[in-house]
Amino acid sequence: MSNILVYALHYDGAINKNSLGAVSEGAKLAKELGGEAHAILVGENIPQDLAASLGEYGAAKVLTAEGPDGLGQPVVDAMAAAIGSGGYKYALFGGGLLGFEVGAGLAARLGAGVAMEITTVRAEGGELVAERPILGDSSISEIKYRSEVGIIIGRLNAFEIVKGGAGAAPVEAISYEASPQSAQATIVTRGEQRGADVDIEGANILVAGGRGLGKAEGFELCTDLAAAFGGSSAVAATRAVVDAGWYPYAGQIGQTGKTVAPKLYLAAGISGAIQHKVGMQSSENIVAINKDANAPIFEFSDLGIVGDLNKILPKLTEAIKAKKG
Ligand code: FAD
């Protein structure tokens, strides 16, 4: 009864990166507890080979359940049914909005203990202990579960993806009864999200823009610089400018956006609010351009440039182009 059920989010024929990390983490922890990690996918026409591929990340078995793609409550139904019949001690989720929603919903359904934004989990005395940074990441709290099932929801990118499992896992289709709540929401339309192609999590170099850019068109300065860097570089943003509609949400960094750790993070016109800092503070090198010498971002930058970004960014772009020939 030391098995762990891991939710694997999938779309467009691929498993979400955070879910792959969660499956890898679940497999490692289950081994330490003397149990198994099982993954569960919920969706329409789930490809068998996609489900089986989770064996490569350590899942001993993969459960699949038919349900509408993109809604949280049917996943809660399916996971509650699996836990009810499968004897799981923990349910594990990678970071991401659907994981937060399903994890919280599952906790409410089962009356289970839940902790989210978890960055580390360890096995101790046959139980799991989860660590969660609190108070703006200045302190760590440790969490143990007293409920029959403990629900662990990771922070984005907290769990490392480890490929090294036994190969294809056995896949078992499960059925579940849809709860009345599940019928209360339905997807009406589905379309492409503006900026869906923005991949800031995989980039080595990020040029991030904030309100100091002045207007949406100001992002061209960032795009030009990222293009001059070339290779694995992308443009990111603060919540202030995403809320203003200057840049798509897919590029937002911070507490309510993505967590990134590129080799170079160049912040232009960003004040360095704590909610932004928590999403980028692990970057290898942080360079900030701000006209205010007292901007908080300089307190955690490796290199600070005090000045007007409208003058500095074009010069930087030209200098990089010239260097590259
Ligand atoms: P500002 O704070 O307005 O800073 C603009 C900076 O640009 C200033 O420092 C200014 O000196 C500089 N500047 C202006 N003109 C120039 C120029 N010409 N050249 C150089 N510098 C210039 N924020 C996030 O980023 N991500 C989140 O996920 C997030 N989540 C949040 C969650 C909650 C619950 C709350 C309450 C807030 C959250 N925020 C988040 C918002 C956050 O608190 C800040 O408001 C936001 O990060 C500020 O964005 P900014 O740095 O672009 O703008």
Nearest to 79 by CA among 44, 38, 115: 38
Q: Poorest-confidence range of 119-133, 184-198, 288-302? A: 184-198
Q: Which pLDDT does position 1 carry in this prediction?
A: 65
Ligand 1 pocket test, pick from 97, 207, 211, 259 with the greatest ligand atom count within 8 Å of Cβ, gives 211
Q: Which pLDDT does position 324 carry in this prediction?
A: 84
- CATH (residue range 205-324): 3.40.50.1220
pLDDT digit string, tens, across residues 260-284? 889 999 999 999 999 999 999 989 9
* Contact assessment for residue 116 and residue 79, using Cβ atoms and an 8 Å cutoff: no
Task: Please state, in angstroms and as integers, the Cα–Cα distance from residue 39 to each residue in 10, 27, 78, 305, following that order.
Answer: 12, 10, 12, 47
Cα pseudo-dihedral 29, 144, 92, 256, rounded to 10: -130
Check pLDDT > 80 for residue 136: no
Ligand 1 atom with minimal separation from the 292 CA: 11
10 Å Cβ neighbour count for 49?
10
* Contact assessment for residue 272 and residue 288, using Cβ atoms and an 8 Å cutoff: yes
Check pLDDT > 80 for residue 165: no
Q: Which two tokens stand for residue 253?
A: 């960094």
Q: What is the DSSP letter of 155?
A: P
DSSP string for residues in 73-91? HHHHHHHHHHHHHHTEEEE
ipTM of the complex: 0.99
Ligand 1 atom with minimal separation from the 254 CA: 28
Q: Which pLDDT does position 202 carry in this prediction?
A: 82
Ligand 1 pocket test, pick from 270, 297, 298, 310 with the greatest ligand atom count within 8 Å of Cβ, gives 270
Among protein residues, the one with the nearest Cα to ligand 1's atom 45 is 240
| Residues above pLDDT 90, as percent of the chain | 77
Domain ranges of the chain: 3-184, 205-324
* Contact assessment for residue 216 and residue 179, using Cβ atoms and an 8 Å cutoff: no
Q: Which two tokens stand for residue 260?
A: 């990134």
Kindly state the average pLDDT of the residues 72-76.
94
Fold of 3-184: Rossmann fold (3.40.50)
Q: What is the DSSP letter of 177?
A: P
Q: Which pLDDT does position 195 carry in this prediction?
A: 67
Three-state DSSP state, 230: coil
Check pLDDT > 70 for residue 196: no
Q: Is the CB of 291 under 6 A from ligand 1?
A: yes
Task: Please state, in angstroms and as integers, the Cα–Cα distance from residue 237 to each residue in 61, 159, 199, following that order.
Answer: 39, 24, 12
Check pLDDT > 80 for residue 39: yes
Q: How far apart are the C-alpha atoms of 252 and 239, rounded to whole Å?
A: 6
Task: Please state, in angstroms and as integers, the Cα–Cα distance from residue 62 to each residue in 39, 55, 314, following that order.
Answer: 5, 8, 51
**Mean pLDDT of all residues in the chain?**
93
Decide if 3-184 and 205-324 have a common fold: yes
Phi, psi of 54, rounded to the nearest 5 degrees: -70, -15
- What is the whole-number distance in angstroms between the Cα of residue 279 and the centre of ligand 1? 13
Q: Which pLDDT does position 305 carry in this prediction?
A: 98
What's the number of CA atoms in the CB half-sphere (13 Å) around residue 279? 23
Kindly state the average pLDDT of the residues 8-25.
91
